[in-house]
Amino acid sequence: MVQAARDSAQKLHRDEAVASTASKPQNRNGRKGDDVFPFTVPPFDLDSWSSVNADAIGSLTRSGAAWANSLIDLNREVLNFLNRRWSEDISIQRRLVKAKSFEDVQAIYSDFFATASSHYGEESQKLAELSTKMTKVTFDAMQENASGK
């Protein structure tokens, strides 16, 4: 039944293609109409393609899911860091408003830059570790499928 429907769809597709070019004048290549290809492409049979490539599709799905989960962890870390830094930036403004002298302002900024430098260094290390983990998890998922586990 499915094959009969496919055959009918292919025939209809061919008939429409022939009818659409029959009334058009020939172009300089001797073909009727402005078609680039002198033939029509039959509908793609996804069922047969997916059964042949089921292992590859499974591997891509598993490795893609592992990558996406790792990316979520990476994004969560970045957002948490930005939230912490934003809070620090706001607290610096409050401290600056309360400063009584130039020395107080200088001490506040000195503390701010030392803390920010430390935080950015630590965060860079965390992001590098998470990126390494993301790569490892993704390729481990691909290797598990390749080895048949």
Segment 22-74, tens digit of pLDDT: 555 555 555 555 555 555 666 667 777 667 677 777 777 888 888 999 999 99
**CA–CA dist 57, 50 (Å, integer):** 8
Kindly tell me if the per-residue pLDDT of 105 is higher than 90: yes
The mean predicted confidence, pLDDT, of the chain is 80
Q: Which of 143, 92, 132, 149 is nearest to 116 (CA)?
A: 92
Q: In this structure, is the dihedral angle defined by the CA atoms of residues 102, 105, 110 and 113, taken in order, positive or negative?
A: negative
Which is more confidently placed, 74 or 145? 74
Which pLDDT value is given to residue 24? 56
Which pLDDT value is given to residue 79? 97
